[in-house]
Structure 1
Amino acid sequence: MRSPRPAEEAHSRSGAAVTAEGLGVRGPRGWAFRDISVAAEPGALIAITGPSGSGRTCLLLALTGRMRVAAGHAEVGGHRLPRQMTAVRRSTGLGPVPGVTDLEPALTVAEHLRERALLTRRFGGSLRGLFRPRSARAAESRARIEDALHRAGLDVDALPKGARTAVRDLERLEVLRLSVALALIGAPRLLAVDDTDLKLSPADRARAWSMLRGIAEGGTTVLAVCSEPPADAVVLSTSPHDRPRADDPAHAREEREEREEAGDAPASGPATQRPAPAAGASEAASAPRGADGAGGQRDGQNDEQGNEQGDGRHDAREHEGGAFDAIAEAGRA
């Protein structure tokens, strides 16, 4: 019996179910995210939301086996994290992820597609396939590319210079479609997309979600970071407001232990009753506000302004510190 064509194989592969419980990633300066739980069926459209710097990209990389988790566990397509990261990486594909899968602006659309097809055939196929006739391998690559372009909705002939159009000359939505098509060439069971709706007009945003929804309906699970999730998506939030409150005894104890390890609080005494630091908080942020080493008191007006205006900026910087530390440790598989 003949094996299915690449295009048929891409559609026939089932998507990856995604489950997680208490998932967390921690960097040298704190948590990038934590306490994430989800249960999504194969072919689901999963949206990751949360404020900038709250660990959205870290969560995307963790669920695709490209960042080691520090707490909890997850299962993607039957492969358990963190124990089976390699298997998860092989069954998932990264679309656009800044700093990880950036396209080369000077290369053309055709060059990107051809390069990805060659890499997929060389490292993603079977050893037996390498010994097939050149004409058969070329036909397989063309079929993979055509299928990926169709599913991503990218009409190469409509581009300014066709397949010879450089990436730097593409519109934002076209770059998104190209990045998705490149990931689909490898026929992943789960497609991951970062910054899905970034710098898109409302009309292009609707087109982008329509594309991803169509991919999910075709059987491939889609995991997308966004600012505004569609109504039909399974939503994961990395927002600190969705995490356990500081007045939760177990959570307060954990926070106190972390501060003691960092040397920011005495080993004994009651827990501080201020709000728990957001995920990815730096060690300095754990110190009591308004403290004066000489025993003096801060000016009341400055303290009030700091409470009203400084908290938001502190939280954003602390989130970003933990997230960037974790991303720096991620592999680019």
Structure 2
Amino acid sequence: MDSPHGAAVKAEHFGLKGPRGWAFRGIGLDAAPGSLIAVEGPSGSGRTCLLLALTGRMKPTEGHAEIGRHRLPKKMAAVRRIAALGPVPGVNDLDQSLTVAEQLREGALLQRHYGAPIRSLLRSRSERRATAAARIAAALDAAGLDLATLPKGERTTVRDLERLESVRLSVAIALLGSPQLLALDDLDIKLSDTERTEVWALLRSIAARGTTVLAVCSEAPADAVLLRTGPQEDGAAPETKPSTGAAGTPKITWGTGAKEGAAAGRDADADAKAETKPAPKAEAEPEAKKDSAAKKKAAETGPAIATENDADDTGNADDTGNDDNDDDTKGADDALAEAGRA
């Protein structure tokens, strides 16, 4: 597998605001291609939103970022083509019912359909299978996953993998497309100290091959380009510009996290509720007066005309979600039929 030249990651006053307030804001970053970037912060401080925004999956609200030659938020689709997601819970979870081989073949098939150049579709079936097998072997090697060490080899189901093995498998699938940026979320969850050391060693090796790595974690290694979210330890307001530490230390950026945004969201909800309180009921008019007024109005305006409620014309959002599931199922079947044994 050819080592791609990683994407430089730059951001200035980068922020994203949601229904409950700011998920993050004031982010500044300048990381060279092939860097190991660690997003450090407490849970709920906007770390995952920042990861998804920098990979073109969420649209930022303020500021801008540049991933390689592509500027966000205008070039989100272009950024998605060069940025691959490793394990991101709730976004690209592995299919627990598939075997490891099936999961890899499905990833290779999807990459061939959506990421490979059009000329590759003109190759013979045997040549396509050989290319897919070579990509899978190279990705497994880069991710440090040896199928022979699994309980049932390539036939091991995903649900039977250990946490570290699952991370390696997700990384291997992400590397099938030779991305310029690899992003991982919640890297150190459910890992022992020894396993965390192994994962960071893996990410360093991927960065050394030329791929820029962006990893969300609760505690970053000392040699990573550090990007922090959430309030500072001393309780002071977060900085909105990068600060440079002593010689040899990485550049650190503080960003406003989701805790502040949640408070803003609660205030906004309270204001909205105050505005929507029902008005006090007016005193009831005497029945005789109401009947007289109603008869007078009917005589002047004629019979009332009923109107239809058009609120349901927008349809049900579920109607648009089934086609994608059908395509994914068909893709998995094709992967098993065409890709062959890894």
- Correspondence for 2:209: 218
**Aligned match for 1:59, one of 50, 67, 79:** 50
* 1:93 alignment partner, one of 77, 84, 88: 84
Structure 1 contact 46–233 (Cα < 8 Å) conserved? yes
Q: Which of 36, 58, 77 is 2:68 aligned to?
A: 77
Work out whether 1:284 is the aligned partner of 2:266.
Answer: yes
Shift of 1:239: 1.4
Q: Deviations over 1:283-307 (max 9, x none)?
A: 335799xxxxxxxxxxxxxxxxxxx
**1:106 Cα deviation (Å)?**
1.1
| Residue 168 of structure 1: aligned partner | 159
Scaled by the length of structure 1, the TM-score of the pair is 0.72
Is contact 2:6-2:211 (8 Å) kept? yes
- d(CA) in 2 for partners of 1:105 and 1:190? 26
* The structure with more radius of gyration: 2
How far is 1:135 from its partner? 1.3
Q: Which residue of 2 aligns with 1:143?
A: 134
Quote the Cα distance in structure 1 between the aligned partners of 2:214 and 2:179: 12
- 1:51 alignment partner AA: P
The residue identity in structure 1 corresponding to 2:209 is G
61-70 vs 232-241, which moves further: 232-241
In structure 1, runs of 5+ residues without a counterpart are: 1-6, 251-276, 289-333
- Contact kept in structure 2, 1:63 and 1:74, CA below 8 Å: yes
- 5 Å-filtered alignment, 1:108-257, equals 108-241=99-232
Identity of aligned residues (%): 60
* Secondary structure in structure 2 of the residue aligned to 1:182: helix
Mapping for residues 43-54 of structure 1, pairs under 5 Å = 43-54=34-45
Structure 2: runs of 5+ lacking an equivalent? 241-258, 271-342
Residue 15 of structure 1: which of 6, 23, 26 is its match?
6
State the alpha-carbon separation in 2 of the partners of residues 104 and 243 from structure 1: 43
Note if contact 1:34-1:279 (Cα within 8 Å) is conserved in structure 2: no
Q: Which residue of 2 aligns with 1:32?
A: 23
The DSSP-based 3-state class of the residue aligned with 1:283 is helix
Hey, what's the Cα distance between the residues in 1 that align with 2:110 and 2:47? 28
Shift in Å, 1:281: 2.9
Write the letter of the residue equivalent to 1:107. Answer: L
Distance in 1 between residues matched to 2:120 and 2:49, nearest whole Å: 35
In structure 2, relative to structure 1, the CA distance for the partners of 1:59 and 1:159 (3 Å cut) is same
Task: Give the number of aligned pairs.
Answer: 253
Cα deviation code 1:256-282 (max 9, x no counterpart) = xxxxxxxxxxxxxxxxxxxxx724434
Partner Cα separation in structure 1 for residue 19 and residue 235 of structure 2: 22
Any idea what SS the aligned residue of 1:93 has?
strand
CA contact (8 A) 2:16 2:22 kept: yes
Per-residue deviation, 1:149: 0.4
CA distance in 2, matches of 1:20, 1:121: 31
SS in 1 for 2:167: helix
* 1: CA distance, partners of 2:113 / 2:269: 53
Say if 1:31 and 1:281, in contact at 8 Å, map to a contact too: no
After TM superposition, give the deviation of residue 244 of structure 1 in Å: 10
The equivalences for 1:270-281 within 5 A come to 278-281=260-263
Q: What one-letter code is carried by the residue in structure 1 that aligns with 2:35? A: A
The letter for the 1-side match of 2:118 is L
Match of 2:200, SS?
A: helix
Which residue number corresponds to residue 331 of structure 1? Answer: none
Cα distance in 2, alignment partners of residues 82 and 246 from structure 1: 26
Distance 2:9 2:97 in 1: 36
Task: Tell me the CA shift for residue 128 of structure 1.
Answer: 1.4
